[in-house]
Structure 1
Amino acid sequence: MNTDSKKISRRNFLRLSGMTGASLTIGFYLPALAKDLPALLTPEEAVAQGIELTAWVTIDKSGKVTIYSHRAEMGQGAYQTIPQIVAEELEVDLNKIAVEFAQGSQTKYGSQITGGSSTVRGGFKSMLRAGATAREMLIAAAAAGWNVQTAECYAENGTVIHRSTGRKAGYGDLVEAASRLPLPKEVKLKERKDYKLIGKPLPRLDNPAKINGSAVFGIDKTLPGLLYAVVERSPRFHGKIKTLDDKKARAVKGVKDIIRVEMPVFAATRHGVAVIADNFWTAQKARKLLSIEWDDSGIELMGTEQLFARMHSDLAKPGLTQKAQGDAGRILGNAEKKLEAVYETPYESHSAMEPLNCTAHYTDDRIEVWGPIQGPDWIQQDLATKYKLPMEKVIVNMTFLGGGFGRKAFTDYTYEAVAISKAIKAPVQVIWTREDDMTQGPFRPGAVYGCQASLIGDRVNALQIKLAAQNMDHQWAPVPDKLDYNRSTTEGLLEPYFAGIPHYRFADIPTESPIPVMWWRSVYSSTNSFAFESFWDEMALAAGKDPVEFRKSHISPDHERYYALLDRIVTMSGWSKRGKNEGWGIAFAECFGSIVGEVVKVSKKGENGISIDKVYAAVDCGWYVNPDIIRAQVEGSIVMALGAATIHATNFMEGKAVETNFHQYRMPRIQDIPPVEVEIMDNEEKPGGVGEPSLPPFAPALCNAIFDLTGKRIRKLPFNINNV
């Protein structure tokens, strides 16, 4: 193509010279407000248009393929699925691909947030097109060199082959010629039946590095002159420093400085004292010698009982309607056959195995951070705004994450590290201890649900569910709009139910509390589904119907996808062959573009205990990439749900978190984990999420199974499974 010389500055000329010829690079131009698929560009086209190229696929002269992962890898498999998608259309050996984390840049990559199960569902088409475009350009380069038609050539295993003569050319030999070709306007993508990589249970590319220890997590980052910091923060979210005596701490050998830190969190400020030293252990030793008196004036010093008493009393309020049809209130008020139940779910800590940490280096005209960051584009924007720097002057580097669950998408811990670096004029790594991570929050909000239903015969005529809980969105403004309803009040409920119930109302009452809360794996679905699916079981019992058939009767037959899932979970679990002395429970959830059904089978253990014999999960996530990763995510979700249902919760006393470490907030151990069988539906639906949708159905399925076995209805979590 011809490049407009007027647009080529010296800098752009150097960029262009370095990117063409030596490699074939296919990138994207993604305007921030683009609604369509991003445009594919070569480096030459990008420079001509004054655009910074998003490099997702690069092939050099040696034939080495590098793919840039624009999403975080926190165990959910982005590091594997993105290359597996691109390699399918690029026709290369997946094991010969180098994967690098992309830096934070929303203008390049669009949303980079790893949350909402959005990595594959948000970018699969662009990734497929990138691989296919590079392949077609390499084929075109080979065909031109051989003076044959492109239709006579095909690509396989990093090589272009001429069909009739068997002539071959490796990708490395073709990149220089291919890099000078115009991008094809359209490329034909494979049909699913022709996939060689997608849909296959291929070993993860990050396994070797994580096994041999070479994988770089946030805490592994080192820099010349790096210092280390720990922060003693207010034990209550809004507390301020009243007095500080740091003489003993400063006397510890290796301590470099002790400073006060103010950290924006939502619309408030979290106060703390940072101890900076030449290593973490020295900083932590000195921290324990600080003497701080905190000013907690004006803070509601609430405990767990007070919090939940407030939520229960809030249920008496009308609430803010999110979704309604008909006149549920009037129907319920006049109902002859009416059911009522109240469900309660606890506050929870994220408790990722890798506590928060961030390495930051602030200079006069630039900020650079490294760490386990779930939303690199959010961090870049947040730091650029708060420090009044151009976006390109804020460099956000991702490392591997040892779990995130939403917590590492927040912006507080990265800002804090930059603030300390700025104050001490040196690079610093701020490490949160397990106690910091577990007591500071933000937490999954506790919730109370008031459920009412009326039945006519064996069908639901009216349904009302009110949620009393903190609204996460209300924290972002100093004076929030209290009439702004919770848009996640129906999250988790199967969509066809809305058409199957004549009268319904879903509402929330935003409970007032000083406890900081935020998204936790599957967000409100994790609490909503316990109420929704437990109450469906209660309604089925009142209607005298099998729980599966009762659900089916409220779903129109034209929803074939839902019927197929219900039939699959029934068949795989042997639901129709349930024994008399066994407890069986079933539950479903729809969130993040996927539908999941789970069956839990239980039996009695000892005098009052319950044993979970097996968990069955059927997952409809539409178009998918790697079934092994899906099964791992489902199993992990069930383990996390088991902990939240039967083992741990975050409690508060006088406004402070009680649980400080795993001796109090116990994780499920291997002996606690039941066998889990997972089946994945095959269909042509759009890809949905995998990392979150399998968590919500477990708790209601378990409690429904316990009722089936014992006749005892569990409406409050967590409960002691050894004393039911």
Structure 2
Amino acid sequence: METKNLTRRNFIKLSSLTGAALTIGFYFPTGAKAAEVMKSETADNLGIDLNAWISIDTNGKVTITNHRAEMGQGSFQSVPQIIAEELEVDLNDVRIVFAQGNNAKYGSQITGGSSTVRGTYKKLLHLSATAREMLIEAAAKKWNVPASECYAENGHVIHKPSGKKFNYGELVADASKLTPPTSVPLKDPKDYKVLRKPIPRQDTPLKVNGTATFGMDKKLPGMLYAVVERNPRFQGKLKGFDDTETKKVPGVKHVIPVKMSVFNTFREGVAVVADSIWSAMQGRKVLKVEWDDSGFEHFSTEQLYARMNDDLKTKDGLSFRTKGNFAAALEKADKKLEATYETPYESHSCMEPVNCTAHYQGDKLEIWGPIQGPDWVQDLLSPLMDLPKEKIIVNMTFLGGGFGRKAFMDYPHEAAVISKAVNAPVQVVWTREDDTTQGPFRPGMVYQCSGGLKDGRISAYKAKLAGQNMDHQWPGAQKDSYNGSTTEGFLEPYFESIPHYSFSDLPLDVPIPVMWWRSVYASTNGFAFESFMDELAVQAGKDPLDFRRQHLGEERYQTLINRLEEVSGWKNRKKNEGYGVSITECFSSIVGEVVKVSKKADGKVKVDKVWAVMDCGWYVNPDIIRAQVEGSIVMAIGAATVHATHFNDGKAVEQNFNTYKMPRITDTPEIEVHVVDNEEKAGGVGEPGLPPLSAALTNAIFDLTGKRIRKLPFNLEEV
């Protein structure tokens, strides 16, 4: 699982190849829209870097590179499963290695936006089918028979009339001399043997037996360990520190001031560097630091939401998307409705706290860690560390959760700065308190929704959202620009069926670092948009599912609604049960969820079950999809009913899991996930299951109790 510098020679060595091998990859010719397949030898001669290499050795073993991170979402299984299908090999004969950061070779390496499979599956299918056809051609030449008489199966090429066969390993030398065909046949999905099958994940044994390498597993000769006391007010400055007692702690080697890049500013702190993480933590406990917190606002949660609510009442938003004349249509509406919804700030709280190992060596910098965007790290650190981009080597390990937090570049920069200062490799570890209080956070949001009904249908729809725009934090950002995710989560057919609408954004400018959180703005938009859709259905006197059905004309959405209605038993709802529905789409996938609630003996509400229907188009492994949807639902339950980040006097209040509580197994209802089979383009899987839950839950509570919940989080015990 160790990441290597994947030159062709090192790749061959890593793959245990002994000379002859079939190694191919794809690249994009200048100006071309489609990828072309090329042999590695040809690429070497032309000076072309190939990406997503497939290499088959003389034993028939297949090694491929994965240019994206594995943070639990399943790419470590999905990518080999794609390759194994068209290459016709046993999945156990395919292994995967992590590529280093190099966007000149791989293009974007950011693992986010649920993009790993949907962004590369067609190229991977074509690449592996090309390798298969080259092996078939090599076998046909050996037998002196037409290639049409041969087929590939289970790592062999077989001659149909005679039954003779070659192992792939026996063919790679000859196949490597052939020119890759430009057109190869791909399988019809109905003929898949590996794809769309619930094959167990290959990384599970590694994570169970402890051989998987996570960030904190990295060890280097002479490596030191560091923890950092950072200013808790995000933009405060270091005034001074007293390290007298810290230096008395056995093992402490250095105490130094540090700055790390956080968007358009630098966060300041004091690093305690020692020969063990324990010594560094003990030294930090007795460190005395004085901060300068002047020159910026020390805000509270109450002040933040008061400002957002006031903006919605007094200001026009930055227009994002409009059609028709909302005001005129609302005036003519039979019924009108307005509602305001609030969602909280949230911590990412990955189970693996943030960590990074760096080794600055003067003319180069090497980094190891749980990193979602190795190419972004290179882009940031090149000017900050005054090194050419190619001299910044970023190695990806497994991630114990990411959710967007580990796509940020602050912690690799901090590790690099400390390593340079102490002239040694350093592993920086954030404590759970650091991780919970320092952010970046999911932004809290407030939504003002207005709508009008005419003849039982939506005739006018308006949504204004107030909250921080993540894009406004970067250096040189245009702060008069609207939030490009203003309608994220809103179903696309609504834009066709609603004749008059208006979506706008009111950006909040405060010194809280915010960034992507699983499903990004869809995680908050979904609650507001689908709660309001439910309220409009009730106002229209329509069944909430039927109301959505009449506004979603496309067959794909109708199929999902019908499936959701069927699996949840929607039409057979009983009197003392509450059912709520929500349907959202993001990252090219559509997910519908139904939540069932009832009352316990003491009269309090309990969540009985969640049904989810996922339409992600072309897909790889239904078990991975179910796991991702289940995880998304549990995470959404936490954000809706259990935890939130609050601020007081400019600092985050919650510090660890004793106050920023996680959902327990007793909080988790039965979850039933269904995957839609169709031939649509592949959509995302890791994130789209999260946005529908909160609205489906609160809509179910309304159905049961008549109480409408418009502010998250809420306490189920108090409903």
Which TM-score band (shorter chain)? Answer: over 0.9
* Map of 1:459 onto structure 2: 457
Cα distance in 1 between the residues matched to 2:636 and 2:12: 53
Q: Which amino acid aligns with 2:407?
A: A
Q: Deviations over 1:404-433 (max 9, x none)?
A: 000000111111111111111111110001
* Map of 1:476 onto structure 2: 474
Q: Do residues 94 (structure 1) and 61 (structure 2) align?
A: no
* Map of 1:674 onto structure 2: 669
Q: Do residues 264 (structure 1) and 261 (structure 2) align?
A: yes
* Map of 1:590 onto structure 2: 585
From 675, 695, 701, give the equivalent of 2:696: 701
Cα distance in 1 between the residues matched to 2:91 and 2:10: 29
Cα distance in 2 between the residues matched to 1:13 and 1:648: 48
Q: How does 1:33-44 map to 2 (within 5 A)?
A: 36-44=33-41
Cα distance in 2 between the residues matched to 1:298 and 1:527: 31
Deviation at 1:723, TM superposition (A): 1.1
| CA 34–85 in structure 1, closer or farther in 2 if over 3 Å, else same | farther
| CA 181–301 in structure 1, closer or farther in 2 if over 3 Å, else same | same
Q: Do residues 506 (structure 1) and 495 (structure 2) align?
A: no
Report the 3-state secondary structure (helix = DSSP H, G, I; strand = E; otherwise coil) of the residue aligned with 2:368: strand
| CA 577–58 in structure 1, closer or farther in 2 if over 3 Å, else same | same
From 551, 560, 574, give the equivalent of 2:555: 560
Report the 3-state secondary structure (helix = DSSP H, G, I; strand = E; otherwise coil) of the residue aligned with 2:245: helix
Cα RMSD, aligned residues only: 1.7
Q: Deviations over 1:90-148 (max 9, x none)?
A: 11110122221111111211111111110110000111111111111111111112222
Q: Which amino acid aligns with 1:346?
A: P
Q: Deviations over 1:376-396 (max 9, x none)?
A: 221222222432333322211
Deviation at 1:265, TM superposition (A): 0.6
Deviation at 1:64, TM superposition (A): 1.5
After TM superposition, the structure 1 stretch with the greater mean CA deviation from structure 2, 686-695 or 336-345, is 336-345
Report the 3-state secondary structure (helix = DSSP H, G, I; strand = E; otherwise coil) of the residue aligned with 1:506: strand
Q: Do residues 604 (structure 1) and 599 (structure 2) align?
A: yes
Cα distance in 1 between the residues matched to 2:218 and 2:69: 16
From 27, 45, 59, give the equivalent of 1:48: 45
After TM superposition, the structure 1 stretch with the greater mean CA deviation from structure 2, 244-253 or 446-455, is 244-253
Cα distance in 2 between the residues matched to 1:258 and 1:66: 44
Report the 3-state secondary structure (helix = DSSP H, G, I; strand = E; otherwise coil) of the residue aligned with 1:207: helix
* Map of 1:636 onto structure 2: 631
Report the 3-state secondary structure (helix = DSSP H, G, I; strand = E; otherwise coil) of the residue aligned with 1:222: coil
Q: Do residues 534 (structure 1) and 523 (structure 2) align?
A: no
Q: Quick check: 1:20–1:44 contact (8 Å CA) kept in 2?
A: no
Cα distance in 2 between the residues matched to 1:179 and 1:578: 63
Deviation at 1:325, TM superposition (A): 0.5
* Map of 1:723 onto structure 2: 718
Q: Do residues 220 (structure 1) and 217 (structure 2) align?
A: yes
Q: Which amino acid aligns with 1:444?
A: R
Deviation at 1:336, TM superposition (A): 5.4
Q: How does 1:573-588 map to 2 (within 5 A)?
A: 573-588=568-583
* Map of 2:447 onto structure 1: 449
Report the 3-state secondary structure (helix = DSSP H, G, I; strand = E; otherwise coil) of the residue aligned with 2:123: helix
* Map of 1:5 onto structure 2: none
Q: Deviations over 1:205-239 (max 9, x none)?
A: 00111111111100101111111111111101101
Deviation at 1:20, TM superposition (A): 9.5
Deviation at 1:606, TM superposition (A): 4.2
Cα distance in 2 between the residues matched to 1:312 and 1:577: 40
Q: Which amino acid aligns with 2:279?
A: T
Q: How does 1:273-284 map to 2 (within 5 A)?
A: 273-284=270-281
* Map of 1:362 onto structure 2: 360
Q: Quick check: 2:251–2:275 contact (8 Å CA) kept in 1?
A: yes
Cα distance in 2 between the residues matched to 1:676 and 1:90: 35
Question: Mind listing any 5+ residue stretches in structure 2 that lack a counterpart?
Answer: 1-6
* Map of 2:3 onto structure 1: none
Q: Do residues 649 (structure 1) and 647 (structure 2) align?
A: no
Q: Quick check: 1:329–1:464 contact (8 Å CA) kept in 2?
A: no
* Map of 2:239 onto structure 1: 242
* Map of 1:4 onto structure 2: none
* Map of 1:625 onto structure 2: 620
| CA 335–564 in structure 1, closer or farther in 2 if over 3 Å, else same | closer
From 399, 408, 411, give the equivalent of 2:409: 411
Q: Which amino acid aligns with 1:222?
A: K
Q: Quick check: 1:263–1:270 contact (8 Å CA) kept in 2?
A: yes
* Map of 2:119 onto structure 1: 122
Cα distance in 1 between the residues matched to 2:441 and 2:600: 33
Deviation at 1:439, TM superposition (A): 0.2
| CA 526–13 in structure 1, closer or farther in 2 if over 3 Å, else same | closer
Q: Which amino acid aligns with 1:201?
A: P
| CA 330–318 in structure 1, closer or farther in 2 if over 3 Å, else same | farther
Q: How does 1:205-354 map to 2 (within 5 A)?
A: 205-316=202-313, 317-332=315-330, 335=333, 337-354=335-352
Cα distance in 1 between the residues matched to 2:578 and 2:412: 47
Q: Do residues 660 (structure 1) and 658 (structure 2) align?
A: no
Cα distance in 1 between the residues matched to 2:289 and 2:78: 48
Q: Which amino acid aligns with 1:320?
A: L
Cα distance in 2 between the residues matched to 1:473 and 1:457: 40
Cα distance in 2 between the residues matched to 1:659 and 1:56: 45
After TM superposition, the structure 1 stretch with the greater mean CA deviation from structure 2, 383-392 or 187-196, is 383-392
* Map of 1:8 onto structure 2: none
After TM superposition, the structure 1 stretch with the greater mean CA deviation from structure 2, 357-366 or 196-205, is 357-366
Report the 3-state secondary structure (helix = DSSP H, G, I; strand = E; otherwise coil) of the residue aligned with 1:355: coil
Report the 3-state secondary structure (helix = DSSP H, G, I; strand = E; otherwise coil) of the residue aligned with 1:247: coil
Q: Quick check: 2:334–2:455 contact (8 Å CA) kept in 1?
A: no
Deviation at 1:487, TM superposition (A): 0.8
Q: Which amino acid aligns with 2:448?
A: G
TM-score calculated relative to the size of structure 2: 0.96
| CA 13–547 in structure 1, closer or farther in 2 if over 3 Å, else same | closer
Cα distance in 2 between the residues matched to 1:462 and 1:381: 45
Q: Do residues 490 (structure 1) and 483 (structure 2) align?
A: no
Deviation at 1:512, TM superposition (A): 2.1
After TM superposition, the structure 1 stretch with the greater mean CA deviation from structure 2, 618-627 or 418-427, is 418-427
Cα distance in 2 between the residues matched to 1:502 and 1:690: 31
| CA 75–616 in structure 1, closer or farther in 2 if over 3 Å, else same | same
Q: Which amino acid aligns with 2:379?
A: Q
Q: Which amino acid aligns with 2:435?
A: D
Q: How many residues align?
A: 709
Cα distance in 1 between the residues matched to 2:504 and 2:392: 41
Cα distance in 2 between the residues matched to 1:30 and 1:271: 42
From 168, 174, 179, give the equivalent of 2:176: 179
| CA 229–296 in structure 1, closer or farther in 2 if over 3 Å, else same | same
Cα distance in 2 between the residues matched to 1:165 and 1:297: 85
Deviation at 1:333, TM superposition (A): 5.2
Q: Which amino acid aligns with 2:56?
A: I
| CA 547–259 in structure 1, closer or farther in 2 if over 3 Å, else same | same
Q: Do residues 153 (structure 1) and 150 (structure 2) align?
A: yes
Q: Deviations over 1:297-320 (max 9, x none)?
A: 012111111111111101021110
Report the 3-state secondary structure (helix = DSSP H, G, I; strand = E; otherwise coil) of the residue aligned with 1:553: helix
Q: Deviations over 1:266-299 (max 9, x none)?
A: 0011001111110100000001111111111012
Deviation at 1:45, TM superposition (A): 1.2
Report the 3-state secondary structure (helix = DSSP H, G, I; strand = E; otherwise coil) of the residue aligned with 1:402: coil
After TM superposition, the structure 1 stretch with the greater mean CA deviation from structure 2, 46-55 or 420-429, is 46-55
Q: Which amino acid aligns with 1:561?
A: R
Deviation at 1:21, TM superposition (A): 4.5
Q: Quick check: 2:52–2:66 contact (8 Å CA) kept in 1?
A: no
Deviation at 1:706, TM superposition (A): 0.2
Question: Mind listing any 5+ residue stretches in structure 1 that lack a counterpart?
Answer: 1-11
Deviation at 1:29, TM superposition (A): 2.1
Report the 3-state secondary structure (helix = DSSP H, G, I; strand = E; otherwise coil) of the residue aligned with 1:661: coil
Cα distance in 2 between the residues matched to 1:22 and 1:334: 76
Report the 3-state secondary structure (helix = DSSP H, G, I; strand = E; otherwise coil) of the residue aligned with 1:315: helix
Q: Quick check: 2:52–2:67 contact (8 Å CA) kept in 1?
A: no
Deviation at 1:67, TM superposition (A): 1.7
Deviation at 1:677, TM superposition (A): 0.7
Report the 3-state secondary structure (helix = DSSP H, G, I; strand = E; otherwise coil) of the residue aligned with 1:63: coil
After TM superposition, the structure 1 stretch with the greater mean CA deviation from structure 2, 133-142 or 354-363, is 133-142
Q: Which amino acid aligns with 2:34?
A: L
